[in-house]
Every structure is written in structure tokens, then in C-alpha cells.
A and B are shown apart, each in its own frame.
Chain A
Amino acid sequence: FCLENTDPRMRGRGIQLLSHVLLQCYSLLQEKEVLHLVLFYESRLQDNHLVIPSVLQGLRALSMCEVLSPGLAVSVLKAIFQEVHVQSLLQLDRHTVYSIITNFMSTREEELKGLGANFTFGFIQVMDGEKDPRNLLVAFQIVHDLIAKDYALGPFVEELFEVTSCYFPVDFTPPPNDPHGIQREDLILSLRAVLASTTQFAEFLLPLLIEKLDSELQSAKLDSLQTLTACCAIYGQKELQEFLPSLWSSLRREVFQTASEKIETECLAALRALSACLSRSVLSSDSEDLLDSFLSSILQDCRHHLCEPDMKLVWPSAKLLQAAAGASLRTYHRITHSVLPLLLEQHTKHTQSSQRRTILEMLLGFLELQQKWGHVEEDESPLLSHQAPVCSVVFSALLDPSVQLQLVGIKALTVLGSLQGFLSSSNLELVVDHLIRLALHEEDSQSSEAAMEAAGSLAPTYPKVFSGHMVPRLEEELQSGRAGKGESYHKRHSLQQRCLQALAAVSTHTSIVKETVPILLQHLQKVQKGTEAKNTQDVISVCQSLHRVALQCQQDAEGCWYFHQTVMPCLLAMAVQAAMPESSHTLPGKALLEEEVLAAMIPVISAATTHLSPELAAQSVSHVVPLFLDGDVSFLPQNSFPCSFQPFRDGEHLEAQRRLVALLMAFVCSLPRDVAIPQQEWLLRELLALSCSCNCPFTATTAAKCFAGLVNKHPAGQQLDEILQLAVNRMEPSLAEGPRRTQALTLLLWVTKALVLRYHPLSSCLTDKLLGLLGDMELGPATADGFSLLMAESPDVLHKGCHADVRIMFRQRFFTDNVPKLVQGFHGAGPDVKANYLKGLSHVLNHLPKPVLVTELPTLLSLLLEALSCSDHVVQLSTLSCLHPLLLEAPQIMSLHVDTLVTKFLNLTSSPTMAVRIAALRCAHALTSLPTTVLLPYKGRVIRALAKPLDDKKRLVRKEAVAARGEW
């Protein structure tokens, strides 16, 4: 009886109840019930306006019914179009209407199409004057569907266009704290999808776009350009014909005049899209070729600017031409045909290197486009007909004394080389000669490096030429450099360095690698025999070259295996030879056993190993591990050693052999995880013993790292637990007391890192131990520094590149687990060890990703502020570097502490350590990002205090001080 109540309010509530019920259970309704309900609701539409919202809700529920009988959808929509004045409803109810239409469109497409253009017209009326962005998004979607699904638009095309285009360009800023999260971008994109969806809009849309393009508003320009680009995807020349001249003139004006890079990019994109669109459309025989006339107008407007390489308009014109040329092969031919001769002519006319550089850069742009269209076709390409002059232009650039011009020349050379079949063989030899000259003898390191890069990128295309010409030349130079012909030592040395670099750079193809690697190894063998200090440097540079080669052939299975097979045994043999006890009385002079040299060899071996396939790696590991465990030298070349190789045996004279554990580490820690290591248990035990007992810190650390690297990859299970237990048992007594506490600490740190990375349950026990050690008088500072080791990425072991088991977010996890303990420990610690906790904490914070840091900040801030007054400058420095990003990113929280911050920073600007002064000044600079109202009270004080560091004796400090004070 509610439904029959005379009070419309009561009726409304009745219907509301019914509608809510329907919304819950629409899927259960029978066809007849639906019919009945629909008729009822339709009649209700004529009721009082208070009732309408609930009626619409009900209809929406019904529109989702699957059993709606045919014909009903049409009648519902008709009723709505007729009876309801949509624009007078509230936003929510309008939304309901749109939902009803969307529902019907998705399920009853056929029926609605039966309505013909009436449906479109009805919808236009519904949508007309819509203002709410939420509804607009839905409405745009409906219009897009109308067009995309081919509904009859009939005579209402223009109306439909009007009703949507009136929102163009979208000018909408979401209100602050808007719960619906509709962004301007959403509206722009959905409107663009509508406008660019049909060619029928073209005649209305293009004038609109041109008009908006001519407007002053940046955003309007951008939006119209992007829409134009989108339209070109479906338009043909028929639609564009009429508007081409004005479109071109607008685009030209924008590119020539605009200051905004964004608009320029969009203009060029639009131009490219236009030309692509024109070159796509099929020509009918009677109409003139629009593309041709369009391109001629572009050429006509741009050509003469190219002739003045000093003028401002050169680059815009070149860019326009390149954009048009980049549209299709046809446009490319047409434009280069006319532009290339012009550029070449200009090159001869202008002789200044800056002008030539501009011309060459433009030329380069066109050459790069040719690359995009693939190989040069036999007779068609305009480029081929100008081959000789283009080459001579590029070569002359390479000979020019100006470095900038050389650089462009080298780039152009690279592009030319990559065009298959463009360079003839004689030209190629010339190219190689030029590259060698530039790489070895050019004074400027920039062009020498660029030449090496170019050689590297061209080598895979012409491996024969490079291995036949360049490699022998380099080898010759390398040897002559060593022999020395009266030139100064320094000059010879740098030439040798260049040779090594060039050899490495050119090794980008397997066949070349096979020639360069023996040369490098031979060189290494010769160099390592010397005993002078400079030899160390030489050996290191050979190793660096080898490393570069290794990195370049990692991706190529054959090259990688070749490299591994050749280099590994050779390096190991040399090292073992050097470590033989007979020669051990000259140990300090042995270049190969220096720590730096071993450290340089580690990346070579590591890079040669990481990309091996498991089978090959297993083959290799079966040689290397016995070498270290049993002294089995049979796989090494020249394996006639006077004495056995037993790095794990005790004995004073074996000190040198033990150092080679570094090479073992480089190898086994870089193996893929699924390669089984023979006699792993034994190896682990030996490593453990070595790391705890060795006196040499280098050896002990490497052994600990190697142990950690293996433990990290060891499959979980009883075996692993046993090994770990063994390690813990071994560490504990030496940690507690004795002469080897530092070694034990190093081992503990590395093992902890290995376990933290893989979330091993034992890791928390080990970190607790570390936390306990922070309170130790002797080991505390070292432990605190160890926290940075735990959190940082280590360069040689335990990172993703060498297949270590690294879980995501281990840093965050470590942070949440351990920071409370650190804080607690800090509060409970004695005054002389407090600094250790702070140091540890600041190391952890330093390596934490910034977003996490910002959220965790408030709880830690007071502690950090305390850390600032700590006297240790490492703590100060790392705290300052923590606070710096926070000042920039969380000014709200920081402004609560502004008083303390200002005082502390200003005090630190007179710290005796330069780095701290700089950091403090940077923070003081960053303080200016806090709200002005907070800062004003301190202004005078800060400016006065900052006057002092202005007179600092270090330039870097003065620089920061000037920046900070200027900002204040």
C-alpha cells in the first residue's frame, strides 16, 4: 500500500525498497516477473519527480537481468527518453541513466540498432549539458561504443560531434582530496578516443583543432596536436585534403616559434602522422597526389633555412623535414632526394668547423632514418647515388681538428656502417684506418673512446675486415710500444693502454674474440714477469681489458665458452706458477700476487663464469675444484711445476698459494645455482678453517666471502645446517677472545649476509650476535661498519649477477626486524659504545629505499637528532645524508623539529672534517624547502652563521655555503 500512498514521498520510499530488493536479486527473476516489473516501472516514470530516482534504480536492476524479453529494452529506453528530463536530475541519478544505457548496449545491441538514429538522438538529448566528470567518462565511453559498434548515426553526426566536442580541450583540475580519483588525463584520453574514432567527424573536428592550435593556451595546443596524431591513424586523404595547407602552416609556426620542447615534439609527431597517413592512402588515378604537393610545400618552406647553418631556424627546419621523412619509405625518398644534394653542397660552401658540424648533424639525422627503413635498395635510394660525396664529407670530418666535429663524424660513420652494403670494401679499409688512428693517436680522450665504441659496434657487421686489418695493427702497436723506440716512457705507456682498450673494444664478435684474447694473454704473460711497481698497473689494465671482453661475449654462448676455456686455465696457471714456493722469497715483487692484481682478476673470472650453461660450467668446475683441493694441475697449460699446489695445507711457505683462494672464490661463487660442486663439504670445511686461522687479512676475508657465497647457494637441508653449526662453533670461541677476533668477526659478517639475503632462519640468531658485539669495546666499531657491508651490494660475490639467492626486500625485512633492537641496545648501552649503535643504525638507514625511510621516520627522528651530536664523524656524515632526503620529501614532519635541526646543522658547519661541513651545508640548504612561516624566525641567525663557512679554506665547502646562503 506504500506504493499507492498519496504522499509522493511515501511512494518514493516504497519504490526505493522494491528497487533495493531487485538490485540484490535481479539474477533470480523469471521472464514473466521481469515483464510485469518493467511495465510497472515504466508507468512509474510518469509519477512525481520525487519518485524518479528510485524508479531509475529499479530499472537499472532490471537492465541487468538476462531474461529480459525482447522489445522491452527498447521500450524502457523510449520511456526514459520521453518521460525523464535527465539534466534536471542529480549526478547520481544521471549516472544511473548512463548505466542503464550501457547495460542495454552491452547485452541488447541488435534491438537497439533496430531503433536506428532515434536511439542516437535520444542519447544526445540525455547527454547534452552534462557537467560532472564522473558521468562524462561513462558518456564518452557510450559515444565511443556508438561509433565503434556501428550504430546508425543518421543525420545526427554533427549534433553528436557538437555534444562531445564542446568539452574539447578538456580543462579540468580535480578538486583537492577528491575521493573519485578522476584525473584530467582520464578525461582527455576518453574524449580523444571519441573524437578520433570516426572519419565522419573529420570535417568538423579539423577546423576545431586548427583553431585550438592557434590559441595561446599551452595545454590546448598539446591536446589538439595529440588528438590530430590520433586522428591520422584512421583518416585518409579525402578527409585531410581541404585542411592540409592550414594544418601545415600552423605546425610550421609552432615548431619555428615555440619555446616549449614538449609542443615541438608533439608537432613533429603530428607531422609524421600526417605524412604517414597521406602516404598510406591509395591513389585514385584522377586525383592529384596530395602527398606530393604536401611534401613540396614542406620542402619549399624549409629548404632555404638549411642554407644558413648559423641561423636559428636551421634546426627546426631540419627536424620538420626529418619528421616528414620518417613517415614512410616514399616520403623518405622524396625528401632525401632533394635535401641530400643541398646539404652536401652546403658542406663544401661552408668551411668553419662549427657550421660543418651543424650540417653533418643534419645529415646524420637523415642517415639514421635510412637505418629505420632497413637496407639500401639497389637503384632507388637517393643515398646510394650520393655515396661518394657522403663518404668524403664524413671522412673529412674525421680529419678535422675540432673534437666536436670528429665526434659527429664518428657517429655518422657508425650509422653508415650499419647500412648493409653501403660501404664498399675499399671504403671499409679506409674506415678502419681512420678508426685506428683516432683510437690510438688522437689527443682527446673523448674522440678516442668514441672511435673505440664505433669500432665495437661495427665489428659484428664486418668481422673479417676488423680481424684482418685492425687486430694485426693493434698487436703490432702493442709490441712496438713495449719495445720502445726512443719515445718518452709516458707516451709509450699511454699508447699501450690505448691499444689494450681498443683490443677489448673491438672484441664484439666471436671470430674477433678468438684473435684478440690470445694477444691479450700473451701480453699479460710478458708483462707479469717484470718486478717494477709499474708492472702491477700494467697487469691490472690487461685484466680490465679482459674483463671488458668477457662482458661483451657473455651473451654469445660460443664466445663465452671459448673465453672461459682459454682465459681461465691460463690465468690460473700463471697465478699458480707465481705462487710456487721457490719463487716465494721475491713475493712482494710478484706482480701477479699483489692484492690489487688479484682483485682485478676476480671480475674477469667472474664475468667469464656467470653466463656459462650449466653443463659447461659443471665440466669446468670438475677441473678447478680438484686443483685447489688435491693440487691436481693436469688441466693447466705448461703444467710442469716444481712443487705441488696445496693452498689449504698448513705451512709458512704456502702463504702465497693461499692468496689464490681469491680466484677460487671468483669462480665458484659465480657459478649458476644448479651446478653441483664436487666435494663441496670438504671445500667448505677447508674454507672455514682457512678463514678462521689465516693471519693475512686478505686471504681470511676472501675465504670468508667464498664460504658465504657457497652457503648462500647451498640447498636448504640437514647438510647446510650441519655446516652452519660447524661454522658457529668455530666462530664462537675465537670471537670471545684470542688473537683472531677480527677474522672471526669478518666470517660472522659474511655468513650473516649470506643468510640474511636468503631469509635463512639462522640469520636472526647471527644478527643478534652482531648486535651483541656492538657493545664490545674492541670489536664494536668494526661491527658497526659491518652493518654497511650487510646492507650494501657487494661487488664480487653475493649479488644477483652471480646467481646468488637474493630475496626481494631483504633490506626492509632486516630493518623491521633489527632496528627496534638497535634502538633498545642504544638506550641500554654505556656512554662509550653508544656511538657504535648509532653508526650501525645510520648504515642501515642509508641503504634503505627512500619511500620506506620516509614512512618510518617519525619513530626514529629523535634518535637521529641525537646522532648528530655524537662526536664520531662517520656517524654525523651518514646521519646527515639520511636527513637530507627527508628534509626534501617530508617537510611537514621535519618542521616540528626545526629548532634542533637549525642549531645542529649550524654547529656542524664548523666541524673539522670537510665532508661533514659539506653535508651540513647541504642540509642547511635543504632546510629552505620547509614552509616559509616555519623558517622566518631563524632567517637572520642562519644567514649570519652561514657567513663563516663562506670563508672556509676548502673550495667545495665554500661552494655549498654560497648555494645555501643564497637560497636563505
Chain B
Amino acid sequence: VSPQVNDAQSTVSVEFTPTIPHCSMATLIGLSIKVKLLRSLPERFKLDVHITPGTHASEHAVNKQLADKERVAAALENSHLLEVVNQCLSARS
């Protein structure tokens, strides 16, 4: 995962690399990163979470999903999916 933060322009861009090109969890990982950032960053920041170019088979599709605000919001309305994401984010105790 490699983040780039621009405080002055209030943008955060995160690149992450899935374990294998066919990683089925890529969307979930991206979504989790996005949710964590949404919760932890001030509202002024614009988020951009995407896959490191050339590391995933359906890179473009996943990036598109992650960039789509509507789809992210809809995903978080889904209580089952939200629970999965929360599980991903819960601190290891």
C-alpha cells in the first residue's frame, strides 16, 4: 500500500497491490481502505483509492467501482457488507 497525501490541496491518494492478479478480495480490500480513510480523515479531503497499475486482472473494473461514490455508499447501506468491512477494520486485540 503506498499513500500520497497533499495537505494543502486536501487530497489523499492510495495505491494498493493485491496479493495475486486474480485476487478476489481486491474490491473488499479497496473498500475497507476507503472506509477507514473516510472515518479517519477530516471531511475536506478528497479520497482516491486505486490498484497499483498492472497488478490485477480486472484492475480497471475495480478502480471504477471504488471511484464511484454512489456504489460505495450503496455498498455501505448493505448491512452484511458493512459487517464484513467492520470485521476487516477491527483492531487485532
Which residues of A (912-953) have their CB < 8 Å from a CB of B? 947-948, 950-951
A99-132 CB mask vs B (1 if < 8 Å, else 0) is 0000000000000000000000000000000000
Inter-chain contact B40/A965, CB cutoff 8 Å: yes
Residues in B with CB closer than 8 Å to A951 are 42, 44
A948-968 CB mask vs B (1 if < 8 Å, else 0) is 101100000000001001100
Q: Interface residue tally of chain A, by bracket?
A: under 10
Inter-chain contact B40/A962, CB cutoff 8 Å: yes
Q: How far is the CA of A948 from the CA of B36 in the complex (A)?
A: 16
Identify A966's interface contact among B39, B43, B44, CB under 8 A.
Answer: B39
CB distance from B45 to the nearest CB of A (A): 9
* A-B pair number, CB within 8 angstroms: 16
Residues in A with CB closer than 8 Å to B44 are 951
Residues in A with CB closer than 8 Å to B89 are 966
Q: How far is the CA of A950 from the CA of B44 in the complex (A)?
A: 10
Closest Cβ neighbor of A952 among chain B residues: B42
Q: How far is the CA of A965 from the CA of B44 in the complex (A)?
A: 16
Inter-chain contact B40/A947, CB cutoff 8 Å: no
Asked if B25 CB lies within 8 Å of chain A CBs, one says: no
Q: How far is the CA of A6 from the CA of B43 in the complex (A)?
A: 89
Inter-chain contact A950/B36, CB cutoff 8 Å: no
Residues in B with CB closer than 8 Å to A947 are 42-43
Inter-chain contact B42/A966, CB cutoff 8 Å: no
CB distance from B62 to the nearest CB of A (A): 24
Asked if B5 CB lies within 8 Å of chain A CBs, one says: no
Asked if B41 CB lies within 8 Å of chain A CBs, one says: yes
Q: How far is the CA of A962 from the CA of B45 in the complex (A)?
A: 15
CB distance from A957 to the nearest CB of B (A): 12
Count residues on chain B whose CB falls below 8 Å from chain A CBs.
Answer: 8
Q: How far is the CA of A304 from the CA of B3 in the complex (A)?
A: 43
CB distance from A880 to the nearest CB of B (A): 23
Q: How far is the CA of A951 from the CA of B42 in the complex (A)?
A: 5
CB distance from B88 to the nearest CB of A (A): 12
Residues in B with CB closer than 8 Å to A950 are 40-42
A329-372 CB mask vs B (1 if < 8 Å, else 0) is 00000000000000000000000000000000000000000000
CB distance from B89 to the nearest CB of A (A): 7
Residues in A with CB closer than 8 Å to B40 are 950, 962, 965-966
Q: How far is the CA of A948 from the CA of B42 in the complex (A)?
A: 7
Closest Cβ neighbor of A967 among chain B residues: B91
Closest Cβ neighbor of A966 among chain B residues: B39
Residues in B with CB closer than 8 Å to A966 are 36, 39-40, 89
Closest Cβ neighbor of B86 among chain A residues: A966
CB distance from B35 to the nearest CB of A (A): 10
Residues in A with CB closer than 8 Å to B39 are 962, 965-966
Q: How far is the CA of A965 from the CA of B43 in the complex (A)?
A: 13
Which residues of B (24-49) have their CB < 8 Å from a CB of A? 36, 39-44
Q: How far is the CA of A473 from the CA of B22 in the complex (A)?
A: 64
Residues in B with CB closer than 8 Å to A962 are 39-40
Closest Cβ neighbor of B42 among chain A residues: A951
Residues in B with CB closer than 8 Å to A965 are 39-40
Residues in A with CB closer than 8 Å to B43 are 947
Q: How far is the CA of A360 from the CA of B89 in the complex (A)?
A: 37
Residues in B with CB closer than 8 Å to A948 are 42
Q: How far is the CA of A460 from the CA of B38 in the complex (A)?
A: 59
Q: How far is the CA of A965 from the CA of B89 in the complex (A)?
A: 13
CB distance from B33 to the nearest CB of A (A): 13
Q: Among B39, B43, B44, find the residue whose CB has the most chain A CB atoms closer than 10 A.
A: B39
Closest Cβ neighbor of A962 among chain B residues: B40
Closest Cβ neighbor of A965 among chain B residues: B39
Closest Cβ neighbor of A946 among chain B residues: B39
CB distance from B79 to the nearest CB of A (A): 14
Q: How far is the CA of A947 from the CA of B45 in the complex (A)?
A: 12
Closest Cβ neighbor of B40 among chain A residues: A962
Closest Cβ neighbor of A944 among chain B residues: B43
Where the two chains meet, the residues of A that have a C-beta atom closer than 8 Å to any C-beta of B are 947-948, 950-951, 962, 965-966
A-B pairs, top 9 by smallest CB distance, nearest first, are: A951-B42, A962-B40, A950-B42, A966-B39, A965-B39, A947-B43, A950-B41, A947-B42, A966-B40
Inter-chain pairs besides A950-B40, A951-B42, A966-B36, 13 sampled, C-beta below 8 Å = A947-B42, A947-B43, A948-B42, A950-B41, A950-B42, A951-B44, A962-B39, A962-B40, A965-B39, A965-B40, A966-B39, A966-B40, A966-B89
- Pull 10 A–B residue pairs with CB atoms less than 8 Å apart, ordered by A: A947-B42, A947-B43, A948-B42, A951-B42, A962-B39, A965-B39, A965-B40, A966-B39, A966-B40, A966-B89
